[in-house]
Amino acid sequence: MTRQKVSRRTFIRLALLGGIGAGVAYIQHQTAGVGMLNIVRWSLRGQMQWLKPPAIVGLGKCASYDVDLVSYLRELWDISEMPDLRGKSILVKPNLLDEIDNIIATTNPQLVGAVVDLLREMGVSKVVVGEGSAFRRDTYSVVKSCGLSQILDSHGVPFIDLNYDELIPVKVRDGWIRNTDTLWLPRHVTEADYIISIPKLKAHHWAGVTLSLKNLLGVIPSSRYGWPKNIIHINGINATILGLYQSLPPVVSIVDGIIGMEGNGPLFGKPVHHELLAVGRDPLAVDIICTQLMGFSIDSIPHLIGAATAGIGQAKKIETRGIAPDQLQKHYEAPPTL
Amino acid sequence: MPSPIDYLISAQHECGGWGYTTGQKPVLEPTAAVLLAIRNEPLANNSFQKGISWLLSCQHQDGGWGINEDDPESGWQTAWALTTLRYSTQKQDSISKSVEWLITVSTMEITQEEFQGKEIPKRDNNEAFIWPWLPGQAGWIEPTAMAVLALEGITKSRLADFRISAALNYFRRYRTPDGGWNIGNANSLDTIVVPRAYPTALVLMALNRIAQTEIHATDLNALRQDLRRDPSTLVQSSGILALRTLGEDDETLISNITERQLPNGSWEDNPFFTAWAFMALRGYL
């Protein structure tokens, strides 16, 4: 029996194939949690953003909540090429995480009232304000103590505690939420034509920043997932933010940065008189700009990097309008974990 | 005083359940709360039986309950269902199954299979044994307090006793320095969190069942302090109920909640809040 000789060329080919196979197996192993297909899809979609038009973020400088906020918002809305909301059903989602004596941690009620006024001026068919507090069994406790209840009463706008709304199972997309194909979401969320996310501009000890995207976690119903939105402790806060965002109706952003929070946010930080209002129809773009205006690198904010990489919004090309960013630049104290 | 019972009966769905708000599809927690509130009311006997039937119809094969009849996953609502079923003399097998689910529900560190083994799982970490909102997750104050209330005295299981004693240790360790409890940790990155009335009320009611000597005066002070801050009907009712359970009636709080009752007998036209307020005024969970 003669031994067949392997030529040098064949050997190199086999070694190359073996190397590629080992590489694929390694990547598959490393990405087993989310799947290589997802990673490829996210990467391609992220690169596709280069082919799309830039996201527009309107920036305003507003010294106080005791001014004609509707005028500020109207101007920012107009320059930011926001969607036409005539006849639409709108859920306004402020950040009402919790209320602690002498700490400003919630979206300012005057600003929420101004957003409602603006929406009515635009001719929306329906507007409700909703939130599900992460720390309180009754979100209305926060609504009352932060002063929002008076504003809502005077505007005749209903408040929906999203923790107790009727729940609708929604299919999750894109592989961000592990071990389930369904998220239970409040009816007022699933039935809205648009969600207006109005976060308080804050540093956040876990997510880095809490802005338009992170603010959306408040719609997760605690009556299903527990307080404080316990799915984030299992699935991870960053993946949950991205998975949730992709399961929602279109979201647009109005960021309350008139007084922001630095340091140990979202509850125990210090106020920053930032005088910033930011508006945009792409929450990722708005959050990137706001993060930069806080003086943080987006590289340190995993959910923004994740969203940018996966093309969940426009991160490659962002155009700001209104006040120039350098006039709004601050350097927030980072949260202890950043 | 208009009758909350009439309101609650009128708010009941034909199938027997109640929603969190008027007209909302039936949900487990408000249904259980209403059933607990009306359980001793002869006028509501039919309503109670219908509600129990709905509750039983939602029980999963594994013995637990989800948020409503469509939710396939059993979770923290099981403690509410079991607490309620304790007052129904029927369906002992349903009670046994739910006890089994509750004492073997998995945590972040211990699987259900381990809990179902012959020996109690060994872990150095006390928190590995306390109750999560959903299986496989970390434990929190509220589901732990509710599990204690549901299980205490209903089973002679060693595992149940062991997990209840772990709950007691957990309540000791997670008490805020000023007394009382928040939803979980007593501090966040070295900042002490504010004790809140609702979780404090649940823990006090649980401690009252298993270790009365562990209730500190500071816990009651923390409860009262947050009740002064938080006007919520739900929170006020839970606080009043806890105080009454401990023989610490507060006439001002009781008077305040009584005054809020609407002409139709409800609080805020909301079955869940009405059930809590009614329980608070009756003085039992």
Question: Does the beta carbon of A336 lie under 8 angstroms from any beta carbon of chain B?
Answer: yes
Question: Does the beta carbon of B27 lie under 8 angstroms from any beta carbon of chain A?
Answer: yes
pLDDT value at position A1?
53
Q: Pick from B29, B133, B272: which is nearest to A225 by CB?
A: B133
Q: Do B21 and A223 touch (CB under 8 A)?
A: no
pLDDT value at position A176?
85
Peptide bond into A266 cis (omega under 30): yes
Window from A29-38, A132-141, B47-56, B116-125 with minimum mean pLDDT: A29-38
Question: Does the beta carbon of A234 lie under 8 angstroms from any beta carbon of chain B?
Answer: yes
Segment-wise mean pLDDT, segments of 10 residues, chain A, 338 residues:
74 89 72 72 88 96 97 97 97 92 89 98 98 94 93 96 96 85 95 98 93 97 93 87 95 98 91 97 98 96 94 96 97 90
Mutant choice from A166, A237, A240, A338 vs B, greatest count of B C-beta within 10 A: A166
Residue B167, CB-side half-sphere exposure with 13 Å CA sphere: 32
pLDDT value at position A230?
84
Q: What is the distance in angstroms between the Cα of A168 and the nearest Cα belonging to chain B?
A: 10
Q: Do B229 and A101 touch (CB under 8 A)?
A: yes
Mutant choice from A97, A135, A138 vs B, greatest count of B C-beta within 10 A: A138
- Averaged over B130-158, what is the pLDDT? 95
Is there a contact between A325 and A290 (Cβ–Cβ < 8 Å)? no
More confident residue, B99 or A181: B99
Q: Do B189 and A336 touch (CB under 8 A)?
A: yes
- Percent of chain B with pLDDT strictly greater than 70: 99
pTM for the model stands at: 0.92
The interface predicted TM-score of the complex, written ipTM, equals 0.95
Contacts 24+ apart (CB under 8 A), B245-249: B245/B204, B245/B205, B245/B208, B245/B283, B245/B284, B245/B285, B246/B204, B246/B208, B246/B215, B246/B220, B248/B220
Question: Does the beta carbon of A225 lie under 8 angstroms from any beta carbon of chain B?
Answer: yes
- Averaged over B179-202, what is the pLDDT? 88
Three-class DSSP category at B14 = coil
What is the pLDDT of chain B when averaged over all its residues? 94
Closest listed residue to residue A251, CA positions, set A300, A185, A152, A165:
A185
Quote the CA–CA distance of A157 and A330 in Å, as a whole number. Answer: 35
Residues of chain B found within 8 Å of residue A144, distances taken between Cβ atoms: 231-232
- Averaged over B225-240, what is the pLDDT? 95
pLDDT value at position A321?
98
Question: Does the beta carbon of A141 lie under 8 angstroms from any beta carbon of chain B?
Answer: yes
Task: Find the residue in A nearest to B140 (Cα).
Answer: A227
Q: Pick from B71, B137, B188: which is nearest to A234 by CB?
A: B137
Is 90 exceeded by the pLDDT of residue B117? yes
Question: Does the beta carbon of A173 lie under 8 angstroms from any beta carbon of chain B?
Answer: no
Is there a contact between B147 and B179 (Cβ–Cβ < 8 Å)? no
Question: Does the beta carbon of A158 lie under 8 angstroms from any beta carbon of chain B?
Answer: no
Question: Does the beta carbon of B138 lie under 8 angstroms from any beta carbon of chain A?
Answer: yes
- Averaged over B111-139, what is the pLDDT? 95
Quote the CA–CA distance of B197 and B230 in Å, as a whole number. Answer: 8
Is 60 exceeded by the pLDDT of residue B11? yes
pLDDT value at position A96?
94
Q: What is the distance in angstroms between the Cα of B182 and the nearest Cα belonging to chain A?
A: 8
Q: What is the 3-state secondary structure (H, E, C) of B127-165?
A: HHHCCECCCCECECHHHHHHHHHHHCCCCCCHHHHHHHH
Residues of chain B found within 8 Å of residue A101, distances taken between Cβ atoms: 194, 229
- Averaged over B200-218, what is the pLDDT? 97
Q: What is the distance in angstroms between the Cα of A318 and the nearest Cα belonging to chain B?
A: 35
Residues of chain A found within 8 Å of residue B31, distances taken between Cβ atoms: none
pLDDT value at position A308?
95
Quote the CA–CA distance of A133 and A210 in Å, as a whole number. Answer: 15
Q: Pick from A164, A205, A267: which is nearest to B21 by CB?
A: A164
